[in-house]
């Protein structure tokens, strides 16, 4: 009898794995719901701004615009560095505020480019994001090996973008957009795999809900970047 107890019950192991798989699916569903809701909120904000001339003039053509440009950076910084001390409700509030600020960026895009080209870029971004996220979830390859390369690419993009603010080179902007698209597609796959691989670390803990908000933020940032870079590459300006 003691000898038999040394063996793990296969039924118990199977039941545990099923519970983990169901929990992981629920976790990703929660994340994607957060993300889709944020995209919808940003789109609503953008539409309200561009459909109202007073709002367009007050937000897009005054210094107030810069508040919405830099506020997302502040939200990400606070959410990342104060994660342990912030409540889930506070994280959610900043997440939705972040989405509102991104809506102002979307409004700028809608104002500059034709609606048809923006819609085309959006649906292409959605398809690419979904494909790379699915790849990150299902692949057996270790995508963390690409993390260093992706981070280097990200810093190159930031540096080149800052330089281009002063020189205004169309060729450099094209190169930045193309490189940015590749980097954020890679980050989408990597982030998805990272979320899946680290799920067991906080499964069933008090911070699981907070982690879902932060993971949604990361994927949302990736999607927004993919959409913006595609718009820059493919968008047709509204003359």
Q: How confident is the model over 111-124, as pLDDT tens digits?
A: 999 989 999 999 99
For residue 62, what pLDDT band results from cuts at 50, 70 and 90? confident
Which has more pLDDT, 168 or 138? 138
3-state secondary structure (DSSP) of residue 140 = coil
How far from 179 is each of 27, 54, 159, CA to CA, in Å? 31, 36, 12
Which has more pLDDT, 88 or 19? 88
pTM comes to 0.88
Q: Is 168 left (phi over 0), alpha (psi -120 to 50) or beta?
A: left
Rounded Cα distance between 120 and 112, Å, is 15
Question: Backbone phi, then psi, for 237, in 5-degree steps?
Answer: -70, 140
Closest CA to 177 of 165, 152, 160: 160
For residue 199, what pLDDT band results from cuts at 50, 70 and 90? confident
Rounded Cα distance between 127 and 133, Å, is 10
Tokens of 239: 């003359």
As a whole number, the mean pLDDT across the chain is 88
Average pLDDT over residues 219-225: 96
Q: Specify the pLDDT at position 32.
A: 96
Of the ranges 124-128, 155-159, 220-224, which one carries the lowest mean pLDDT score?
A: 155-159
The percentage of the chain sitting over the pLDDT mark of 70, rounded to a whole number, equals: 93
Average pLDDT over residues 159-184: 89
């Amino acid at each position: 009898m003691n000898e038999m107890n040394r063996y793990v019950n296969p039924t118990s192991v199977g039941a545990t794995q099923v519970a983990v798989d169901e929990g992981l699916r629920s976790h990703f569903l929660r994340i994607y719901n957060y993300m889709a809701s944020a995209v919808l909120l940003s789109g609503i904000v953008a539409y309200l701004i561009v459909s109202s001339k007073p709002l367009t003039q007050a937000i897009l053509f005054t210094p107030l615009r810069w508040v919405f440009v830099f506020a997302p950076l502040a939200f990400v910084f606070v959410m990342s560095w104060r994660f342990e001390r912030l409540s889930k409700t506070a994280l959610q509030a900043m997440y939705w505020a972040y989405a509102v600020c991104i809506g102002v960026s979307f409004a700028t895009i809608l104002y500059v480019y034709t609606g048809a080209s923006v819609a085309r870029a959006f649906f292409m971004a959605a398809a690419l994001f979904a494909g790379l996220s699915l790849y990150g979830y299902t692949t057996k390859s270790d995508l963390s090996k690409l993390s260093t390369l992706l981070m280097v690419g990200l810093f190159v993009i930031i540096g080149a973008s800052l330089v281009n603010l002063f020189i205004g080179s169309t060729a450099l902007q094209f190169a930045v957009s193309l490189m940015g698209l590749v980097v954020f597609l890679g980050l989408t796959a990597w982030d998805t795999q990272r979320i899946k691989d680290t799920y067991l670390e906080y499964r069933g803990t008090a911070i699981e809900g907070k982690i879902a908000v932060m993971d949604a933020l990361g994927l949302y940032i990736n999607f927004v970047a993919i959409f913006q870079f595609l718009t820059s590459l493919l968008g047709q300006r509204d003359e």
